[in-house]
Amino acid sequence: MTEHSKPEPTLLLNGEPYKNEAGCGQLRRGGSRWNKRVLIGVLVLESCFALPKPALGQFLSVFDAIFSSIQNDIGTSLKAINQVAQQMQQLYQNTVAPLAAINQARGFVANSINTYRGQMSRVFNMPITSAVTPGPQQFESLLHSRASAEIPALQASFTSNLGGIPVVNAASPQDRVMMDMDDALGQENLKTTLVADQGADVVIQTANQMENQVALSTPGSNPFLTAQAQVANLRCQAFIQKMLAAELRQEAGRIAHDNVLVKRRTAATSGVNSLITGALTAR
């Protein structure tokens, strides 16, 4: 060791000499690196928070473009559509279906209902019973009851008032058959008229409802009312056809009855001729 060299100072730690080694320097260098990393992280975070500002501006510009398109392009089209709709509404209100004409038609229907419905109701419900004795009065009351539920009572009253088929040996077999057929046709037609009267009441109720609807109808409801009227007309035609069929059956039964009488007269005449011929031959 030369004379210019100086001894290194010795640090004492708890009375023992402490040597400065490389470990302390490494800790210092490690701390500086950690500070750099923290600084870089803070800069990155600041840049992240700073980025959405221009992006938000871009989104706002997109919404502004959409709103502008709605107000200018679509709004103009909607305005034109509204104008056309208003013109169509004015056309219907002033030319196609004016309110004054509609009210006039409604008033005509209401006046017709007030004038004729009561009279027609009195005609349909006019009492036409004519029987005097109790039995026929009951039978006539059932016949004009206009209720199909009275058919069994009508049949019983028919038998009690007009009599039943004679017992065996009380009349000839041909007479019993003819009486049975005549009674059957008569009861059948009477039951048919009872059902037809009830159906006529339903048709009249439907007609009254249609008249009420016409008095309160609005433009555009005519096709529905016409369809309903056609259905009611078909129902009426069905009842008429049923009554015509019953009348035809009754007429056919009467013709068959008259034909049986002709046949019996012919058979009786033939028998008389045989007796006369036999009597003349015997002489």
pLDDT at 23: 46
Domain boundaries, the chain: 59-96, 127-163, 166-268
Residue with tokens 């392009």: 73
**Which pLDDT band holds residue 28 (cuts at 50, 70, 90)?**
very low
Q: Do 253 and 185 form a contact (C-beta atoms < 8 A)?
A: yes
Is the pLDDT confidence value at 181 over 60? yes
Is the pLDDT confidence value at 36 over 50? yes
Q: What is the C-alpha separation between 117 and 99, in angstroms, rounded?
A: 26
The letter for the amino acid at 117 is R
pLDDT at 121: 85
What average pLDDT does this structure show over 170-184?
Answer: 89
Beta bridge partners of 168: 171
Q: Which of 32-41, 179-188, 195-204 has the lowest mean pLDDT?
A: 32-41
Q: Do 143 and 193 form a contact (C-beta atoms < 8 A)?
A: yes
What average pLDDT does this structure show over 240-269?
Answer: 89
SS3 13: strand
pTM summary value: 0.57
Q: What is the C-alpha separation between 121 and 137, in angstroms, rounded?
A: 24
C-alpha closest to that of 263 among 175, 185, 202: 175
Residue scoring higher pLDDT (75 or 167): 167
pLDDT at 45: 54
Q: How far is CA 144 from the centre of its chain?
A: 34
SS3 18: strand
Average pLDDT, the chain: 78
Is the pLDDT confidence value at 3 over 50? no
pLDDT at 17: 53
Q: Do 216 and 106 form a contact (C-beta atoms < 8 A)?
A: yes
- Which helix (DSSP H) or strand (DSSP E) does residue 12 occupy? strand 11-13
What average pLDDT does this structure show over 224-230?
Answer: 86
Q: Which residues contact 112 (CB under 8 A, 6 or more apart)?
A: 211
Q: What is the C-alpha separation between 103 and 217, in angstroms, rounded?
A: 10
Question: For 93-148, how does the pLDDT look when each residue is reduced to its tens digit (9 = 90+)?
Answer: 787 778 788 888 888 888 888 888 888 888 888 888 888 999 999 999 998 888 98
Is the pLDDT confidence value at 206 over 80? yes
Residue scoring higher pLDDT (32 or 267): 267
206: which 2 tokens? 């439907």
Residue with tokens 């109808």: 217
Q: What is the C-alpha separation between 208 and 118, in angstroms, rounded?
A: 11
List helix spans (H) across 51-144: 52-69, 75-91, 99-124, 134-143
Q: What is the C-alpha separation between 172 and 181, in angstroms, rounded?
A: 14
Is the pLDDT confidence value at 197 over 70? yes
Q: What is the C-alpha separation between 196 and 231, in angstroms, rounded?
A: 17
